[in-house]
Structure formats: C-alpha cells, structure tokens
Amino acid sequence: MKHKLGWFLGAGLLVALILAGVVSNFASASPDGLDATARDGCTFGADDEITGGTCMLQQEKDHQMADSPLADYGIKGIDNPYLSTGLAGAAGVLIVFGVGGGAFWLLRRRSAADA
C-alpha cells in the first residue's frame, strides 16, 4: 500500500511541477476579473499608463512583499521571463508540497502517539 501511495504522490508532484514550470508560461496576459474591474473607468495609453478617467487602479500601491524574491510571478534576478516564471512556479509547488507534507507528517505522528 505504501509503495502505491509513493508512486501516486510522486506522479502528482511531477505533473504539478510540469504544469507550474512549463504550462504556466502559456497563461493569458490579459487582465483577470479583478484587474479588469480595477481598470474600469480609466483610459490607457500605448504603454499601459493611465491617461484619463477615474478607476480603482489609480489607488494602487505596492504591497509589503513587492521586493521579495518571488514577487510578480517570477524570480528576481533572472532576466529570461520564461525561465523566471517557470522556476517560480516550480519553487511554489515544492514549497507547498513541503509544507503540506510536513503538516500531514506531524498530524499523523501525533495521532499515532495518541492511539
């Protein structure tokens, strides 16, 4: 049973890494629902700067993590946008897998000790 679970988790991790590392580069660059709503009411120039109107986007500010190594769906310091996005996606998958796996391991160990 443990052998099948290991293969299942390994295959799931591999699929997630491929999706995050490769397929994520093909995601649409068009604004999603929240971004489109925030832009509603403003006019934009060719360089995507606000040229007129009134919209929520005019109140936009950087968040506290804007200078972090994984901000803006990429890795700071890597100039190739495809490589930067792919590595950031793969790092995110590995971090989530590690945190989730660690949490399950701790909960499993605690439950076994209680029994």
Residue 79 maps to a domain: yes
Predicted TM-score (pTM) of the model is: 0.71
* pLDDT, tens only, 2-16: 788 889 999 999 999
Go through 87-115 and write b for each residue having 16 or more CB atoms within 10 A of its CB, e for each that does not: bbbbebbeeeeeeeeeeeeeeeeeeeeee
Residue 61 maps to a domain: yes
Residue 60 maps to a domain: yes
> How many domains does the chain divide into?
1
Residue 7 maps to a domain: no
* pLDDT, tens only, 37-90: 999 999 999 988 899 999 998 988 888 888 888 888 889 999 999 999 999 999
Report the run of H or E that residue 51 belongs to, with start and end. strand 50-53
What is the domain extent for residue 59? Answer: 34-114
